[in-house]
Structure 1
Amino acid sequence: MSTEAHLQMIQAVVSRLATQSTTVKGWCVTVTAAVLGFGVTTTTPVAVLIAGYVIAAFAMLDSYYLALERAYRTLYNRAVAGGVPPWTLTIERIALRDVAAAFRSPAVVLLYGASLLAALGVGGFLLSR
């Protein structure tokens, strides 16, 4: 059992979580654009509320993935230092504060904040009609 193989296992988990985070971001943009497009073509302001819910839900899911990714990076660093039993992938339980910290990260704030601003802009457009 080599340490290098153990580190590769942990890195594979981190890579999968990063891929899922990217997928969540893509789905958020797609679904939000579809809902807002529907709202504009049918002049339905309630679509902005639905888009806001979609953005919030995807932002929380993405924050959770980022918190998990950070926990696995911590495990990786501990494994490098030799403070982890061989072949373990057990991480500390993710607390709400971990998800909240991830929620405030630039990777989350920039994309979902911009999406929320776009939804509010569409809402303003729809209300001004």
Structure 2
Amino acid sequence: MDKKLKHLELVQDVINRMSNNSFMLKGWAVTLVAGIFALAGKDTNKLYFLVAYIPVLVFWGLDAYYLLQGRLYRSLYDKVRMTEENNIDFSLTATIQEFNTDKNCYCSCLFSKTELWFYLPLAAVCTGIIIITHI
């Protein structure tokens, strides 16, 4: 039982790291978008404001990747949980091929509730600021 607990602990540490990375990305996305708008003046070219969408899209994609990795490692956690003690190999490899489900695909993560509820309002705020500053 000791080997299984240690392996589960290792997998849980990876899951925590992925969750922390996702949280940090959300903070960086807001910071960069705010920084872009802070540096832009009222008379700035409209194309400059469109640059604000780049971090939104890039961080949305990267955040979805970390969400996918977290889901894959949760699937690995479940697999290890069900594995017999003498079959524990301490593998930390979690691939889409091994855990192929509807939830464990990139598109599912990209359009998950947590991603949509954060990045769509951020994009809407960008759009609102662009419209307001160029009226």
Please confirm whether the aligned pair reaches a TM-score higher than 0.5, indicating the same fold.
Answer: yes
Local SS of the residue matching 1:28: helix
Using the aligned pairs only, state the percent identity: 24
Q: TM-score, normalised by structure 2?
A: 0.85
Alignment of 1:108-123 (within 5 A): 108-123=115-130
Structure 2: distance between partners of 1:8 and 1:42: 54
Question: 1:37: how far off?
Answer: 2.1
Quick one: which amino acid aligns to residue 4 of structure 2? T
- What is the letter of the counterpart of residue 81 of structure 2? V
Deviates most, 100-109 or 23-32: 100-109
- Larger helix proportion, structure 1 or 2? 1
Show structure 1 runs of 5+ residues with no match.
none
CA distance in 1, matches of 2:119, 2:89: 38
SS of residue in 2 equivalent to 1:116: helix
* 1:55 is the counterpart of 2:77: no
92, 95, 104: which one pairs with 1:92?
Answer: 95
State how 1:58-69 maps to structure 2 within 5 Å.
58-69=59-70
Cα distance in 1 for residues equivalent to 2:31 and 2:43: 18
Alignment of 1:127 with 2:134, yes or no, is yes
| Secondary structure at 2:51 match in 1 | helix
**Distance in 2, Cα, partners of 1:35 & 1:127:** 16
Query: Which piece of structure 1 moves more, 21-30 or 104-113?
Result: 104-113
Q: CA RMSD in A?
A: 2.0
Could you list the per-position Cα deviations for residues 98-128 of structure 1 after superposition, in whole angstroms to 9, with x for gaps in the alignment? 1211111121111111110000001111221
Structure 2 unaligned blocks of 5 or more:
none
TM-score w.r.t. length of structure 1 = 0.88
Q: What stretches of structure 1 move > 4 A for 4+ residues in a row?
A: none
